[in-house]
Amino acid sequence: MPPADRLCGSLFMLGDLRQLWASLPCKAAFAVVAFAWVCLFHFLGNSVLGYVDTPSIFVWLDALHTSAERTDSDDAFGRFVPWLVLVLALVRRQELTEATKRPWPAGLALLAFAILLHGAGFLIQQTRVSIVAFLLGLYAIMGIAWGAGWLKAVFFPYFLLGFAIPISVYLDGLTFRLRLLSTMVSTAICKGILSIPLNRVGTSVEFAAVPPRPGAMEGRAGFLFDVAPACSGIRSLTIVTLLTIAFAWLNLRTPARRLLLVLCSAPLALLGNIVRLTLTFAVADIWGQDAASKVETKAGFITFMVALAGVFAIGRILREPEQGHGAPPAAATGTTEAPRT
């Protein structure tokens, strides 16, 4: 893009942001209440001072994200979720500008519920509950200042902030079931369709040794694969669901179509993981375990390629027809213009 076009685009976006800012009522009151809300959760947000010795939910959350990045946990992507939400809000800035904005006293009930939820999370020492309470309370404060119309317009991108909450520690049971299902289906495909001699025990897949035969291919030593928790697909499921929600919000207009596309994200992510495991076993059968191990560790993008291709294809099918703009042409209405004299 030429520099002049980039400059025009930047100025246009800045103009849109100024219009959005000007459309917001009660900005000073909102800033004061929001600042007080942030201070509450910074100084009295976390009551669990064991693993992360801090009263702040923000420091606590940053520490868990840092640990997840260091250990390559499924929660490692959570740090980037707020940036995705910000980008989505910028993309739909015109919709946010046009939303009806007026003070909404009914939002006080939602704020009261958020305070009670935080109190419960603080007492039972569940910091994740307090994070949910913080997000819900900030949502309520926006509603009090800017109204239900604003809450409706901002709901989809704001909802995605929930994906930043680290919950992989509670998903061990789901992780195992996904591992088992992916292993079962990929093994069945390899045995039934590709005729690869392998046996499955739980999430372990054994390749039987093939003795050498005269006049045939060389033999092959047996080897064993274990579908580890990292290969369960829970990370790809979470990320694909997150991206599907963003894609649905940007490209579909009706809630029913958006929901249908989001519901498709889970089976598509599972399908992508099955394709990757099947490819891994096929490579092991042809080139051995070392080559297959490289595919297993370095070809995680295959899962996302398959899943996101499915999301884009279904999204294209579900996309509403473009609405016409302007008056229909004269020929289409059966009228003609009177000649001028």
When pLDDT is averaged across residues 22-34 and rounded to a whole number, the result is 96
pLDDT number for residue 219:
56
pLDDT number for residue 319:
92
Cβ-defined contacts of 299-304 (< 8 Å, 24+)? 300/236, 300/276, 302/272, 302/275, 302/276, 303/233, 303/236, 303/269, 303/272, 303/273, 303/275, 303/276, 304/236, 304/239, 304/240, 304/272
pLDDT number for residue 85:
93
pLDDT number for residue 79:
92
The DSSP result for 159-226, as a single string, is HGGGGGS--GGG-HHHHHHHHHHHHHHHHHHHHHTS---EEEETTEEEEPPB---TTSPPPB--EEEE
Sequence spans of domains, the chain = 16-166, 172-318
pLDDT number for residue 226:
85
Encode pLDDT of 288-338 as tens digits: 888 888 887 788 888 899 999 999 999 999 998 876 544 444 444 444 444
pLDDT number for residue 6:
58
pLDDT number for residue 156:
86
Encode pLDDT of 37-52 as tens digits: 999 999 999 999 877 8
pTM passes above 0.75 = yes
Per-residue pLDDT at 174 exceeds 90: no
CB atoms under 10 Å from CB of 167, counted, come to 13
When pLDDT is averaged across residues 138-154 and rounded to a whole number, the result is 96
Phi, psi of 118 (to 5 degrees): -65, -40
| Residue 180: C-alpha distances to residues 74, 85, 226, 285 (Å) | 18, 33, 11, 21
What is the percentage of the chain residues whose pLDDT exceeds 70?
85
Tokens representing 211 are: 């003795």
The angle formed by the CA atoms of residues 9, 15 and 20, to the nearest 5 degrees, is 125
The label of the residue with tokens 């603080």 reads 122
pLDDT number for residue 212:
64
pLDDT, greater one: 14 or 115: 115
Encode pLDDT of 185-215 as tens digits: 999 999 999 988 888 988 899 887 766 655 5
Cβ atoms of residues 165 and 74 within 8 Å: no
pLDDT number for residue 326:
45
CA distance 31 to 36: 9
Over the range 100-131, which residues count as b (16 or more CB within 10 Å of their CB) and which as e?
ebeebeebeebbeebeebbeebbeeeebbbbb
pLDDT number for residue 221:
61
Cβ atoms of residues 142 and 56 within 8 Å: no
**44: nearest Cα among 61, 56, 60, 36:** 56
pLDDT number for residue 9:
56
**305: nearest Cα among 276, 266, 281:** 276
pLDDT number for residue 223:
75
The angle formed by the CA atoms of residues 119, 122 and 124, to the nearest 5 degrees, is 105
Encode pLDDT of 216-260 as tens digits: 455 566 678 888 766 666 778 888 999 999 999 889 988 899 999
Mean pLDDT value across the chain:
86
Encode pLDDT of 62-110 as tens digits: 999 999 888 878 888 899 999 999 999 999 899 899 999 999 999 999 9
pLDDT, greater one: 172 or 268: 268
When pLDDT is averaged across residues 97-124 and rounded to a whole number, the result is 96
Residues contacting 130, CB < 8 A, separation 6+: 41, 45, 46, 57, 117, 118, 121, 122
DSSP 74: T
State the first-to-last Cα distance of the chain, in angstroms, to the nearest integer. 49
The packing angle between helices 234-251 and 81-91, to 10°, is 10
Beta bridge partners of 201: 204
Cβ atoms of residues 281 and 190 within 8 Å: yes
When pLDDT is averaged across residues 265-270 and rounded to a whole number, the result is 92
